Amino acid sequence: MTAITGNVDGKKEISAIIVPTDAPGFSVIDNYEKMGLNASNTTQLVMEDVHVPVENLLGKKGEGFKQFLVTLDGGRIGIGAMAVGVAQAAYEKALQYAKERQQFGRPISQFQAIQFKLADMAMKIELARNMVYKAAWLKDQGRAFSKEASMCKLYASEIAMEVADQAVQIHGGYGYMREYEVERYMRDAKLLEIGEGTSEVQRMVIARLIGC
């Protein structure tokens, strides 16, 4: 966790601290119901008068915010990867359904309107995947990657939502039913536009990093 550990020149000093879950005063509230990503448990951590030894300081005192930002950049690559996975799953379901669903004596995948949707989905997923790979490669190489992390997170999360929406559309009324699974991908994708910094925050970060 991060906490204010003092003031330096009138500014709050933030440090990273390891807090054991069995520390007195530490409790977990687990009663949240989410619209999606239900396989990932979400809890609230509550700390009341929790005391830990100074040895639990993680890194240097006062550098917690910097550590947090570095972690956030890496997390954005993870969100981008999740978004690519959700989008890929939604696309594959839509493609399979389009090949099987018959209208006017032929699969709807033979209709140009559906073909264009699927082509756009495939193209955008490929672009998002390559953006995630680039950001991850830069991080692995020890090079600056903040801009690429924000870009891949922003683009991948937004196309995941778009692809999931189109997958539901291709399924028609069936897409609204849980049996066909694509409605789940739409619900899961929404959080990816919010977690690790909203789309609006990513645009602010990118604007700053390109010198605006």
pLDDT band at 87 (very low <50, low <70, confident <90, very high): very high
- Residues 71-83: pLDDT tens digits? 889 999 999 999 9
**70-97: b (≥16 Cβ within 10 Å) or e:** eebbeebbebbbbbbbbbbbbbebbbeb
The domain limits of the chain are: 2-58, 64-209
CA 73/CA 68 separation, integer angstroms: 9
CA 194/CA 76 separation, integer angstroms: 11
| CB < 8 Å & 24+ apart, contacts of 195-200 | 195/79, 196/72, 196/75, 196/76, 196/78, 196/79, 196/153, 197/72, 197/76, 197/150, 197/153, 199/154, 199/157, 199/158
User: What average pLDDT does range 163-189 have in this prediction?
Assistant: 96
The rounded percent of the chain whose pLDDT value lies above 90 is 67
Amino acid at 207: A
pLDDT of 28 > 80? The answer is: yes
**Using CB atoms within 10 A of its CB, is residue 125 exposed (0-12), middle (13-18) or buried (19+)?**
buried
Annotated catalytic residue, options 33, 193, 196, 200: 196
Q: Would residue 148 show up in a list of annotated catalytic residues for this protein?
A: no
The domain 64-209 having CATH identifier 1.20.140.10: the answer here is: yes
E strands, the chain, in order? 2-8, 11-17, 26-29, 44-47, 57-58, 102-103, 106-107
pLDDT of 112 > 80? The answer is: yes
Phi, psi of 196 (to 5 degrees): 60, 30
The two three-digit tokens of residue 25, written as one number: 């005063």
What pLDDT is stored for residue 103 in this prediction? 94
pLDDT of 68 > 80? The answer is: no
Provide the whole-model pTM. 0.86
Which is nearest to 157 in space by CA: 69, 89, 70, 86?
86
- CATH code of domain 2-58: 2.40.110.10
User: What average pLDDT does range 174-185 have in this prediction?
Assistant: 94
Classified as helix, coil or strand, 59 is coil
User: What average pLDDT does range 147-172 have in this prediction?
Assistant: 98
CA 202/CA 68 separation, integer angstroms: 16
